[in-house]
Amino acid sequence: MSELAYVNGTFCDPADATVSINDRGFQYADSVYEVIVAIGSEPFRMTEHLERMRRGLEAIGLDLEPHGIDLERIIREGIERAGFDRTMVYLQVTRGVQPRAHVYQDGLVPTIVATFRPKPVVDAGVRARGVSIMTIDDTRRTECKIKATSLLPNVLAVSQARRDGYHDAVFVSPSGEVREASSSNVFAVRGGGLVTPVRDASILHGITRQYILECAERMDLPLIEGTLTVPDLESADEVFLSSSVIDILAVTKVNDKTIGTGKPGPLTARLYKTFLKGLPGSA
Ligand code: PDD
């Protein structure tokens, strides 16, 4: 078991994995990515992740078809070779290598990069206590539903949150609507039901978000995909974040407002139980 990388057809040690300085991924973030978690040898919701990547590739006009690249095979082989119990697969497809010019040439060979690392474990104390978030103006690009690698605003937002004593930051539109956190989606619990921002272009359509909505439906919880303002979030009974890496993570503070009792709430806990039960390999 050791961390593993993949670059254009070759599996190798991550320390030996390199791409060209002329790669458009490096120079322009002209690329898309996915983060997929595998439980044992089974990637969770891989079809959905690859479908989202396919939509992103289509949106940026990058066609893998002529290159005969089998992303599923790369993912499965990497997981097997790495041999972790829980693997975090990072997969990035860039438009390829070309001397720097904003306009891309036709016929470039896409660069395929992947890493296979253990899924980070959220510290048990952090999970039990919950985390704090601050709201921040959304200065990101408009097409956030594309899982593009141009993540500078996200990097700056979470770094500022950490400096200001919060765990994460949640982007808010100019009209005051909550969108998503730096690398996760946001849910509020209000009146016994779930409220989460609508699935439009301003958020990433999280695979975990969708899975949580399915879990909530099974539990007969009222669901609203709609507007969530900052005051709605600050006055919610419970708040949580979701992603492939953190699953469901309770939020106990939004800006200077304590959420509920200041501890992860009961509905979040029930939902997380249903969430875990639905994962491959759980009885
Ligand atoms: N990010 N919103 C943003 C901006 C994200 O970057 C992510 C995931 C999500 C949740 O998506 P999913 O449920 O499909 O993981 C929402 C990954 C984990 C990352 O960049 O590391």
Tokens of 64: 């893998």
Contact in structure between 52 and 45 (CB atoms under 8 Å): no
Closest approach atom of ligand 1 to CA 154: 4
- Mean pLDDT value across residues 22-50: 97
Read off the pLDDT band of 225 (50, 70, 90). Answer: very high
User: Residue 280 has what pLDDT?
Assistant: 87
Q: How many angstroms separate the alpha carbon of residue 99 from the centre of ligand 1?
A: 31
Set 147, 253, 257, 273: catalytic member: 147
CA dist 269 and 250 (Å) reads 9
Tokens of 155: 């990097």
- Mean pLDDT value across residues 193-216: 97
Q: Tell me the CATH class for 4-118.
A: alpha beta
- Mean pLDDT value across residues 107-111: 96
CATH architecture of 124-277: Alpha-Beta Barrel (3.20)
Percent of the chain with pLDDT over 70: 100
207-218 vs 266-277: helix crossing angle, rounded to 10: 100
Higher pLDDT, 106 or 274: 274
Nearest CA to ligand 1 atom 3: 183
Q: How many CB atoms lie within 10 A of CB 13?
A: 10
- Mean pLDDT value across residues 106-127: 97
Query: Which residue from 36, 142, 184, 248 has its CB within 8 A of the most atoms of ligand 1, so it is best to mutate?
Result: 184
Residues in the chain: 283
Active site residue 147: yes
Read off the pLDDT band of 74 (50, 70, 90). Answer: very high
Domain spans, the chain: 4-118, 124-277
User: Tokens 């800006």 identify what position?
Assistant: 255
* Phi/psi of residue 133, nearest 5 degrees: -135, 150
* Phi/psi of residue 93, nearest 5 degrees: -120, 120
Nearest CA to ligand 1 atom 4: 183
DSSP string, 63-116: --GGGT--HHHHHHHHHHHH--SEEEEEEEEE--B-SS-SSPPTTPPPEEEEEE
Query: Which residue from 204, 208, 212, 242 has its CB within 8 A of the most atoms of ligand 1, so it is best to mutate?
Result: 204
Element (H, E) at 178: strand 178-181
Show the ligand 1 pocket: residues with CB < 6 angstroms. Answer: 35, 180, 183-185, 204, 206-209, 242-245
Look at residue 164 and tell me whether its pLDDT is greater than 90.
yes
Provide the mean pLDDT of the chain: 96
- Mean pLDDT value across residues 240-247: 98
CA dist 186 and 131 (Å) reads 13
User: Tokens 């985390």 identify what position?
Assistant: 131
Read off the pLDDT band of 58 (50, 70, 90). Answer: very high
Read off the pLDDT band of 283 (50, 70, 90). Answer: low
CA dist 195 and 197 (Å) reads 7
User: Residue 248 has what pLDDT?
Assistant: 98
Lowest mean pLDDT among 69-73, 140-144, 195-199: 140-144
User: Residue 282 has what pLDDT?
Assistant: 83
Nearest CA to ligand 1 atom 16: 184
pTM for this predicted structure: 0.93
Q: How many angstroms separate the alpha carbon of residue 185 from the centre of ligand 1?
A: 7
- Mean pLDDT value across residues 26-30: 94
CA dist 33 and 111 (Å) reads 12
Interval 133-149: pLDDT, tens? 999 999 998 899 999 99
Q: How many angstroms separate the alpha carbon of residue 36 from the centre of ligand 1?
A: 10
Look at residue 85 and tell me whether its pLDDT is greater than 70.
yes
